[in-house]
Amino acid sequence: MNAMSQEQIREMILRVLSDVAPNTDTQAINPDISFHDQIELDSIDFLRLMMSLEKEANVTIFDFDYPKLSTLKGCERYLVERLAIA
């Protein structure tokens, strides 16, 4: 897989988020505030978001890392690290 830019990663996260939570205004998301506090994202939706990001980015997201992915910025940081070419 080609390395993705941070911008491409953000676009992917927002696209997946809008699939999981279709009523979300993804442009209004504050990257520093948890998804749970901004939008109606329950634990099942969050799990669907994690599984969709795994599939879309072709990475494994470990359940013990989920707290790191509770915000847009956290998702970006995590996926940038996971997708970095070693």
Query: Per the structure block, which two tokens stand in for 75?
Result: 């998702």
Between CA 41 and CA 47 the distance in angstroms is 10
Q: What angle do CA 72, 57, 1 make, to 5 degrees?
A: 135
Share of the chain above pLDDT 90, in %: 85
End-to-end CA distance of the chain: 12
Confidence band for 86, pLDDT divided at 50, 70 and 90: very low
Question: Which pLDDT does position 48 carry in this prediction?
Answer: 97
pLDDT tens digits, one per residue of 48-63: 999 999 999 999 999 9
Q: What is the domain partition of the chain in residue ranges?
A: 6-83
Residue 1 pLDDT greater than 50, yes or no: no
Between CA 33 and CA 4 the distance in angstroms is 24
Query: Per the structure block, which two tokens stand in for 28?
Result: 């209004």
What's the CATH number for 6-83?
1.10.1200.10
One-letter amino acid for residue 36 of the chain: H
Question: Which pLDDT does position 5 carry in this prediction?
Answer: 87
Mean of per-residue pLDDT scores for the chain: 92
